[in-house]
Amino acid sequence: MSLNTDPNFFTPGKRYFRAFSPGDDFYEALIDMHRDLSDEQSAMANARLILLLANHIGDISVLREAMKVAREGV
């Protein structure tokens, strides 16, 4: 499998009528996760989140691809 960079967010069982809604649901939850955290705490939360998601994805070739894209742009 290769890295999927097309829109891919959904909520099981939820019907969306507007294309922008699932991505916005995700983004709001992401920003909410950081509410009231200091910058340092946020950085730690982000690191933990990446580790959890990386394990969930599992396929290290996909992860390497994502890491490459992430690093290239900064």
Partner 1 sequence: MLSTYQYPKFEYRRPPEIAEGREGGGGRYPVVVVGAGPVGLTAAIDLAIHGVPVVLLDNDDTVSIGSRGVCYAKRALEIMDRLGCAEEMVAKGVSWNVGRTFFREQEVFNFNLCPEPDHHRPGMINLQQYYLEEYLVRRAQSLPEIDLRWKNNVIAVSDQGDRVALRVETADGAYSIETDWLVVADGARSPIRHMMGLDIEGKIFMDRFLIADVVMKADYPTERWFWFDPPFHPNQSVLLHRQADNVWRIDFQLGWNVDPEEEKQPEKVIPRIKAMLGWHANEEREFELEWVSVYTFQCRRMHEFRHGRLLFTGDAAHQVSPFGARGANSGIQDTDNLVWKLKLVLDGTAPARLLDTYSEERVAAADENLMNSTRSTDFITPKSATSRTFRNAVLGLAKDYPFARALVNSGRLSVPSVLVESPLNTPDTEVFAGNMVPGAPMDDAPVDSTRGEKWLLQAAGNRFLLLYCMPDAGDVDAATADACTALAAGAIPVETLVVAERGTAPAGLGTLIDVKGRVRERYDLKPGTCYLIRPDQHVAARWRSLDAAKVRAALARATCNA
Buried-state track 27-56, b at ≥16 Cβ within 10 A, e below 16 = eeeeeeeeeeeeeeeeeeeeeeeeeeeeee
Contact between 18 and partner 1 per CB under 8 A:
yes
23 binds partner 1 (CB under 8 A): yes
DSSP string, 25-44: HHHHHHHHHTTT--HHHHHH
Which amino acid is located at 19 in the chain?
Answer: A
Smaller CB distance to partner 1: residue 42 or 54? 42
Site for partner 1, residues 34 to 73, rule: CB under 8 A: 34, 37, 39, 42-43, 46, 69, 73
Applying CB under 8 A, the residues found at the interface with partner 1 are 4-8, 15, 17-20, 23-24, 26-28, 30-31, 34, 37, 39, 42-43, 46, 69, 73-74
